Chain A
Amino acid sequence: MGILADAFGEGSILIKDSVEDRSSAISLVGDLLVASGKATSTYVASMLEAVEIFGPYIVIAPGIALAHGKPSDAVLETGLSLLILEQSIEFQHSQNDPVRLVFGLAATDHESHLELMAELAEFLSAQENVSSLLRCSDSEQVLSLLG
C-alpha cells in the first residue's frame, strides 16, 4: 500500500448518509482517528476548537474539508480518517461549501507528515479522484482508490 492508503488505520473510513452539522462531522472524523489509534479524545476537542476559533478555513477545496487540531501528546501517530457523506452539509465557508468529503488529520508536529500531505494534495487535485471517492460505497473501495 502507498503512503496515502497506509495513513488510514483500521476503522478510519466511514460512509454515511448524513450528519447534523459541521461539528458533528468534525467530531465523527475525530472519533475515527481515535478508533484507529491515531489520537486520543483530547485531540478531537482540539479539532472542534480550531474551527470555533479560526472559522471554517479547513474547507480546502469545493466540497472537501480537512479537519485537524493542534499537534500535541494527544496525537499518538500521524494518520488520516475519512467521512463520505451522501448528503452534503454547510461549513459556512465563503467559497467551498457544501461539503461531502471530510478528512480528519492527526499529525505529531509541523513537519513530519509533509510527504503524506503532498500525496493527499496530489490525489485530491484530480477531479476524477474526487468524483470516484464520492461514488465509493465501502471502505475497501476507498482504500483501493487511494492506492
Chain B
Amino acid sequence: MKIIAVCGMGIGTSVLLKINAEKVLKMIGVEATVEAADMATARGAAFDAQIVLTTPELVESLKGLNAEIISIDHFFDLEELNTKLSKALL
C-alpha cells in the first residue's frame, strides 16, 4: 500500500500530511508507506500509489491519476484524516 502526500513545494503541507497519515495508519492498524512529494514529481510518484493526499486547492491539478485523491482541510486534527483514510482503506 503506497500513499503519496502532495503539496506545491513538497516540504510543507505534504510533510504535515505525511506525519499525520502515518499516525492514523498506526491507529487503524494499516501498513503503508507514505511519501511526501511536490506537484512536479507527484505524477511520477503516484504512478504506483493507491492514495494521494492533498489540499483542496491542488485537487484539480491532480485529476487523472490512477490513485484515489483525498483532500484534507485540517492539518492539526486527525479526525478528518482518520475518517477519510479509513473509508478509503477499510
The chain A residues found within 8 Å of chain B, CB to CB, are 46, 50, 53-58, 60-61, 66, 68-71, 94-95, 105, 107, 109-111, 113-114, 117-118, 121, 124-125
* B56-90 Cβ-contact flags toward A at 8 Å (1 or 0): 11100000000000000111110000000000000
Which residues of chain A come closer than 8 Å to B39, judged between CB atoms? 54
Q: Are A54 and B11 in contact (CB under 8 A)?
A: no
The A-contacting residues of B in range 19-76, CB under 8 angstroms, are 19-20, 36-39, 55-58, 73-76
Contact residues of B with A, CB < 8 Å? 7-16, 18-20, 36-39, 55-58, 73-77
Complex formed: what's the CA distance from A56 to B12 in Å?
Answer: 12
Complex contacts, A58 vs chain B, CB 8 Å? 12-13
Partner of A57, one of B7, B10, B11, B77: B7
Residue of B nearest to A124 (CB): B76
**Shortest beta-carbon distance from A42 to chain B in Å:** 14
Establish whether residues B12 and A61, one from each chain, have CB atoms under 8 Å apart when the complex forms: no
